[in-house]
Chain A
């Protein structure tokens, strides 16, 4: 790790101001990706602005038909939250399956989606539920927030405050873990809103989380495991690497979609 300056602001405004002035400054949330990258000398920020002291960023609140989860809420807290487990159990399940206990005790929702790792779990939950990302400057729909490989719509100095998840009629998440890293080799989040609208988000397959039009169409027609399993996902939408070919990933998308629907239907 290279040397850096450490800052711990007490408010979001102060954090945004600091990040605005510091040339190579980075916001530090749970540090589960950034600190590891710094230890490997793959990242060398001049300054770290630790968001951990900003009280307004943590916590889970019901807001009408939505659950609002603060950006600094730890995965373990989302997994254990009675509110989340009752209203969006699929999201609690997703959070409880991220990394290992240590990662879940430190990693945060905001950190995960700001990093937008193409094999992370949370982007699938945010996109699959059609959540809104509330930042220090504005509110962004999930569809406009994720921009591909480690890219988001966040502007320099813009910080995530919270994510507002609309409570669906039903939802499910199924993840096929990479045997080595246990990141999602494929993760599929399906949801059906009270209106009947179906969203299907896929992580691990390509250069970033994406919605599957084929699966959404099939599940809109019939929200059943068999309908999902019958969809042939084009391999062209998936990546191949030493762990899996594009064909295998494409195959797993429909298998995981089938299992996610089964989970949603209980």
Chain B
């Protein structure tokens, strides 16, 4: 696709949204102030697991400025429900998963450090915070359980009575008998046992909400830092507060990062929406960073044992995976689906492995709920597959690229043994491009040169695949989804020919206001500047399922394309009338409606004007106006894939790993804005390298205390932790959406962790190091070296 107009498809105009972001004109939730507003502050449990004997709010209620205090008992009395889980998983015995109540404020028991116990609403935030300190809670502290690897053993403290042995479900996927048979006849079996480290998302803008109730309209307005306001509204009204949806408007204004952590319906915004009517005042709540650490849903936290069976030539015969996935203390919105549906279905990777079986145990612990975080299940699956492949190659003495080539899927469509059908791809192309850009041929010389400086250089590969563009609703429904997964778009053509696009795909860093405008400008042949994109408001957008799983362009963009098709179809009828031709003779090209084969034409803007000033208009057969809406439900996932090659230098004296070279060759299908895609890849890689080298949520397994509860102890990646990335794209267009796009938002975070870890292991293999844990901090790398030397 080439750009037919300036700043059309394939161009890299500067982002429309950056003017306001870079000049301080962004409008975030905490920027919103409503007259008469009060402030909420939550009392959070300091204990991981404690019965609540008594809550004394007397002193707090008498403190200056306090408007109201609510506890779990008040919500129970008002019959306010708990937070729902959006995906039902059915276990190996056909039983539904255990769904313990997820109260907005603790009901009798606090189940993790940071669990909400009470809320104070006061005239100022400081008054609310002061009053929170005056609430006296009589806790009966119970033993806690925090380690996912051991939490299901008999005799451990029980988080929920209805989930014996802290087990939410044991879920199986794939053909176990076929896998067992293949393993029995294998020439080689590679085994891997590891922890996929627990991460804390840390969006730069903390969660925030402002709730308002209008007595005159008997309606609510909630501003909230969220990725999908319609889903927020649906879950909050239908499942928790029992309000009619048309009485609740949810607005997600500018949002400073989500990475998945703002998909979910959280207790805090739900409580203040309910309370706004009770106190008949607007209520603002803005999370403090310390609270974010203990209340935003965390990511990953798996304990996994995986095995790969190979024949003597390194062909993959079967894979067997057993994972214990930490779900935390409660089921967050999509928690149940992440380590199951979004994980086990990806275990084929880019390979023709004929038999795969995965068993996943969902585990409750006294920790913050765990849910989707950039990649959501797919980074975990990619780590399993790519570390198994790298380790097998090393054990069998096969070149890392060669073992991958021997097993690549080469013919499409390809149905995997784990339930997905890949529509298209070219895995050899991305591997070849990455190999060339990374100058793999020159690596031995670089390794030698590094050695002279006392550094150990290693190289690591990762050939990942992801399933994006969630999803055909009927398939998701059959797999347990409790919501649809379509997207909606409205294209409103104004009388003078400019266009406002309303999309359900919220933008919180992805640049939709730019990318979607490029698509619309290109398709309608109008200037990029004439298109504005509106998102994030249930009062303005027809509907929306939101932004997650790299779905915005492939699903949300397609809905807009369908709406444009309707605009063009109607425009042709108007043009036919104006040009006195038959509807079927009109073609639309470069912003003009033409009578085919003639020079008679009318510009898009003239047609738009005629639609709104219908003096010369076929009113007998056509409505005036030019405003079309479309809903689009995808027919398949999209399958972005690529090859990453990472080169590291390890200082064996200190264990410090430096990523010295990083190449990503990705296939995202067609690309609308290469600059934005490159930025998305950079951000994803930084997060993936962060997981591989730095980030680790640490719990004390005895007490359930979060030890890495601030940036003092939780290492976020900084600019100097990553190299200057070399990124490349190869294109096989997606076959089932009109733009041919696949999605790029998560690829960097999905592909990179195994490439980094494999590179470190390659660097240290001569010392006898076979495994390095994530995150591979200097201390842990040094430990691995010491153990190998011992």
| Chain A residues at the B interface, C-beta cutoff of 8 Å | 40, 176, 179-181, 183, 242-245, 248, 251-252, 255
Contact = CB atoms under 8 A, between A and B. Distances in A.
Nearest to A181: B712
B698 A255 contact: no
B713 interface: yes
Contacts of A181: 711-713
A40 B694 CA distance: 24
18 contacts: A40-B290, A176-B654, A179-B778, A180-B694, A180-B708, A180-B714, A180-B716, A181-B712, A181-B713, A183-B712, A242-B708, A243-B779, A244-B779, A245-B783, A248-B779, A248-B782, A252-B654, A255-B654
B777 interface: yes
Contacts of A251: 782
A179 B715 contact: yes
Interface magnitude class on chain B: 10 to 19
A179 B654 contact: no
3 closest cross-chain pairs (CB), A and B: A180-B715, A179-B715, A181-B712
- Chain A contact residues, majority secondary structure: loop
B707 A179 contact: no
* Consensus secondary structure, chain B interface: loop
Contacts of B713: 180-181, 242-243
A255 B782 CA distance: 13
Contacts of B707: 242
Interface string B686-722: 0000000110001000000001100111111000000
A185 B423 CA distance: 50
B782 A179 contact: no
B634 to A, nearest CB: 41
Nearest to B712: A181
Contact of A245 (B653, B711, B716, B779): B779
B463 to A, nearest CB: 29
Centre residue among B711, B715, B716 by max chain A CB count within 10 A: B715
A179 B777 contact: yes
A248 B783 contact: yes
A40 B293 CA distance: 14
Contacts, number: 37
Contacts of B694: 179-180
Contacts of B712: 180-181, 183
A181 B714 CA distance: 8
A180 B708 CA distance: 10
B784 to A, nearest CB: 12
Contacts of A179: 693-694, 715, 777-778
Contacts of A252: 654
Indicate the member of B707, B712, B714 with the most A CB atoms within 10 Å. Answer: B712
Contacts of A255: 653-654
B711 A180 contact: yes
Residue of A180, A183, A244, A255 with most chain B CB atoms under a 10 A cut-off: A180
Contacts of A40: 290
Nearest to A255: B653
A96 to B, nearest CB: 15
Interface in B762-790: 777-779, 782-783
Given A179-B778, A243-B779, 19 more contacts: A40-B290, A176-B778, A179-B715, A180-B694, A180-B708, A180-B711, A180-B713, A180-B714, A180-B715, A181-B711, A242-B698, A242-B707, A242-B713, A245-B783, A248-B782, A248-B783, A251-B782, A252-B654, A255-B654
A201 B711 CA distance: 27
Contacts of A243: 713, 777, 779
Nearest to A254: B653
A255 B454 CA distance: 13
Nearest to A251: B782
A180 B783 CA distance: 19
A255 to B, nearest CB: 5
Nearest to B716: A180
A242 B698 CA distance: 8
Nearest to B778: A179
A248 B654 CA distance: 9
Contacts of B778: 176, 179
Interface in B171-197: none
A184 to B, nearest CB: 13
